[in-house]
Amino acid sequence: MKKKYNRQQVIKVLIDKMLESFGSSYDYVIANPKIDNIPWYQYYTWKTPEDLEKFKEFFIITLTKNTSPKLTKVSAEREWPWFSLMYGLKEDFKNEQKFQEESSR
């Protein structure tokens, strides 16, 4: 059985997962809110839409299965934009897609 997280704990779990591929963590960014004088949420960026979508799926599953009280899938989907606005990483793949389109002409 998976651990059930309260609201405070789930933020840490989600940020840890979001930063996992960068070798960083919630504790690190709390202790170092700026990295190279850039806020951590802008320093670390989503590189592909697939990475962002995988994290969004993890976010929804975590809120629907591992929180107390559990949220419905619809409620978790409604929470996503708020979480992304408050804690989400910068999306860098938009410029990458534009560059790929221009270079293929």
pTM, full prediction: 0.82
Q: What is the pLDDT of residues 56-69, one digit of tens each?
A: 999 999 999 988 88
Spell out, as residue ranges, where the chain has pLDDT lower than 50. 1, 99
CB contact at 8 A, 45 and 90: yes
Of all residues in the chain, the percent with pLDDT exceeding 70 is: 87
Tokens of 47: 């590189």
In this structure, the number of other CB atoms found within 10 A of the CB of residue 89 comes to: 21
d(CA 45, CA 105): 27
d(CA 53, CA 59): 10
d(CA 54, CA 78): 17
Give the domain ranges of the chain: 7-103
